[in-house]
Amino acid sequence: MDVSLHDVHQALVELSRLRFGEVGVEDAIREIVHATHTMFDVDGAGLMLADAEQHLRSVAASDDRFAHLEELQIHHQEGPCIDAFDIKELVSAEDLADDRRWPKFSDAAVARKVRAVLASPLPYNQDAVGVVAVLSEQRRPWSAEGELALLAFTDLAALLIASMMQGEQHSEMAVQLQGALNSRQVIEQAKGVLIGQQGIPARAAYEQLRSRARDERRKLSVVCAEVVAEATHSSS
């Protein structure tokens, strides 16, 4: 992927208009996705936000192809966007046909003509509440310059969204975001409990909580709140 400084500058100039215009959150996100798609010259681009159960939901996409990412990753509970969101780091997949980090997702994605993905976590209040991602239908090396460009682009998008969220506290998207932030807090607390009790890595703690919620057919936030309450009660 060859992203020139001119491309980045033009995209950022395009986005900077949102700071001073009377643009709603939904319209701003569509602008962000459009600029991302144009700058990276890819087959699909989109922005996902987490819901209260920490599932990534597409809120804007360049076309229907990006919806495949959401559908496949939620169904298989694995994939580059989920990893980027969980570990708060950029995740790249150059060729899903040869990438075995997410075997179920990768096979299904290639069958749906999604071959390469670059995903960047969307920061908000020192946490990750979503992902900005681009995809290619062909094998595609992601250059270091391209990765840095997407990270910078995502940071700016997060700042724009955050500033507009403050002016639209009652919008549907603001409610979704607040719900995600609230549940994220109790999930982090529950992860801390398991890490302390079992001496396991943060990712393993999260997987354990998610598996328990799935097996018991309960909401993840409810299970996490229960874990925290039990730990508080036993220590008192």
Highest mean pLDDT among 16-25, 99-108, 126-135, 147-156: 99-108
- pLDDT tens figures, 111-120: 988 999 999 9
CB distance 50 to 133 below 8 Å: no
Measure the CA angle with vertex 106, ends 84 and 97; round to 5°.
115
Judged against a pLDDT cut of 70, whether residue 3 lies above it is answered with no
Highest mean pLDDT, choosing among 50-59, 69-78, 226-235: 226-235
Nearest CA to 68 out of 91, 93, 48 is that of 48
Helix axes of 64-76 and 103-111: crossing angle, nearest 10 degrees? 150
**What is the per-residue pLDDT across 181-205, written as a single tens digit (0 to 9) for each?**
788 889 889 999 999 999 999 888 9
d(CA 147, CA 119): 9
Whole-number percent of the chain with pLDDT over 70: 86
Give the confidence band of 98 by pLDDT, cuts at 50, 70, 90.
Answer: very high
Cβ atoms within 10 Å, residue 207: 14
Q: What is the pTM of this model?
A: 0.77
pLDDT the model gives residue 169: 57
- Better-predicted residue by pLDDT, 102 or 35: 102
Per-residue model confidence (pLDDT) at position 5: 57
Phi/psi-derived region of residue 156, left when phi > 0, alpha when psi is between -120 and 50, beta in every other case? alpha
- Mention every residue, 6+ apart, whose C-beta is less than 8 A from residue 64: none
Highest mean pLDDT among 10-24, 84-98, 142-156, 161-175: 84-98
| Per-residue pLDDT at 11 | 59
**Contacts of residue 40, Cβ cutoff 8 Å, sequence gap at least 6:** 1, 3, 118, 134, 146, 149, 150
**Which pLDDT does position 9 carry in this prediction?**
62
Going along the chain from its start, the domains and CATH numbers come out as 5-165 (3.30.450.40), 172-235 (1.10.10.10)
Res. 152: pLDDT tops 60: yes
Euclidean distance between CA atoms 56 and 87, whole angstroms: 14
